[in-house]
Amino acid sequence: MLGLEMVSFNADDGYPEAIIRSLRKGFLKEETYNQLKACSNLNEFKLVLEDTDYGSYIVNEANPIEIVVLKKKCKEKLMSEITHLIGQSTQPLTGFLQMMLHGYQIENVVGVIEGVKNDQPLELLLKGLDPLGYFPELKNIRTVEGDDYATLYQQVLVDLPIGNYFRKFLEVCIGSIGNDGAIKKDARFISDLMKDYKAEKIKNMLKKIWIGEFHRYCMQLPDVSRQVMDDLLKFESDCMTIQIIFNSIDIKGLSDARGREGERRKYINNLGKLFINLISIIGYLYPDRDRELTEADNFDKLKDACKGFEYERMLQQVSDIPSSKQGGDFGGKNDGGANQYASTMSIDDVMFTEKSKRYSMAFENQFHYGVFYAYLKLREMEIKNIVWLAELVSIGVPRQMPGWSKFVVPFKYHKEEVQQN
């Protein structure tokens, strides 16, 4: 895979890559996770973490540390590392690092806008934001009079660095109405349009637009960076598609024919006409499995739609399947006896494990930007592991419960072994 990157990469990007590969050594090892699992309370939990790279961020917090505070401090550490990398980089790496944070910024902006619309204090909203998505311009969002959503979104479009995604979102929404001359597409029209969209729906649409823009940006990078990021983003996008379909099977209005052709198409990656011009090139499943995916109304059909792809093997590992999602008799029912503590794999568990493998493999190659994106994602997974174990410790879950093993340690996989599996 290596080409001219071997000659030119280190001139501009060698130092940031050296930083990220040194930071890799700070990931929690399996021994540390075992120590965290052995803790009987959050005081002990915090004491174990103080001996890791998170120590300086939590050492001054009161005991017992609140889980919300623990999560925020861990993310502040990660954000400080990414900020340092941005300060040490030049273009196009700087743009890449900034753009990979836009997904978190979208979540923060949508959350603040919804809070402002519900008359919540801005100061309180800012305190609850994800540190990975924080930027100073968030303070510019202000309360508006009545239902003047047009002014509220205009503030986003004008002042915020992710305003481009909101602009495209509004353009697509307005364009989806058609060219009906009887409809006056003014500020009042935008306000009425925004009332019909829930925050979660807006966030999902904006993140679809962002991942499409991010993918296009990555396709302009040098060969190795382009290949690695193309694979990571397509894999993520396909996983999102599969999870949405799986979760929508039991939802009334989404599992019937009309729901599949209507609502589901608005969310599933690359399947909705509404966003075909934005993200149609992302995903290994698109466009060959478009029809099969939209017609999947049970787990059997979903697996059939993924035949020939690695996702088929992943779905075969899913054991925690509600009977209503199954197309036939899958067996393995809980008998209420010894098997009640048997470990089950939900679709989220399978995706979490496979993504960890994929991101770990990104470090196998050199001279590319994928390691920065993989580091961000692996650290975010590690924080989820920490928070998950902290919650189990805080509520005193019995040690024989399978939840104690539902964490994933990165870099335990070799590229050749993964490919053979």
| Residue 59 backbone phi and psi in degrees, to 5 | -60, -30
Sequential DSSP letters for 40-83: SSHHHHHHHHTTSTTHHHHTTSPSSPPHHHHHHHHHHHHHHHHH
Q: Is 420 a residue whose pLDDT tops 80?
A: no
Q: Is 4 a residue whose pLDDT tops 50?
A: yes
Q: Which two tokens stand for residue 108?
A: 């923060």
Average pLDDT of the residues in 148-162: 71
Alpha-carbon gap, residue 357 to 378, rounded angstroms: 10
- Using CB atoms within 10 A of its CB, is residue 178 exposed (0-12), middle (13-18) or buried (19+)? exposed
Q: Is 330 a residue whose pLDDT tops 50?
A: no
The whole-angstrom distance between residue 416's C-alpha and the CA centroid of its chain comes to: 26
* pLDDT at position 38: 96
Q: Which of helix, strand or coil describes residue 252?
A: coil
- Using CB atoms within 10 A of its CB, is residue 137 exposed (0-12), middle (13-18) or buried (19+)? middle
Mean pLDDT of the chain: 82
Q: Which two tokens stand for residue 340?
A: 């009640």
Average pLDDT of the residues in 187-210: 76
How confident is the model over 337-395, as pLDDT tens digits? 333 334 578 899 999 999 999 999 999 988 999 999 999 999 999 999 999 999 999 99
* pLDDT at position 275: 38
Which residues are CB-neighbours of 203 under 8 A, at least 6 positions away? 106, 107, 110
How confident is the model over 290-322, as pLDDT tens digits? 888 888 888 999 999 999 999 999 999 998 676
How confident is the model over 163-195, as pLDDT tens digits? 889 888 888 777 766 555 555 555 566 666 666
Question: Are the beta carbons of 318 and 345 closer than 8 angstroms?
Answer: yes
pTM of this prediction? Answer: 0.87
Alpha-carbon gap, residue 344 to 381, rounded angstroms: 20
For residue 202, which amino acid is it? I
* pLDDT at position 147: 61
* pLDDT at position 203: 86
CA distances to 109, 130, 220, 224, 269 from 165, in Å:
11, 19, 19, 27, 16
Q: Is 416 a residue whose pLDDT tops 60?
A: no
How confident is the model over 247-281, as pLDDT tens digits? 888 655 555 555 555 555 554 443 334 333 333 45
If one compares 35 and 179, the residue with the highest pLDDT of the two is 35
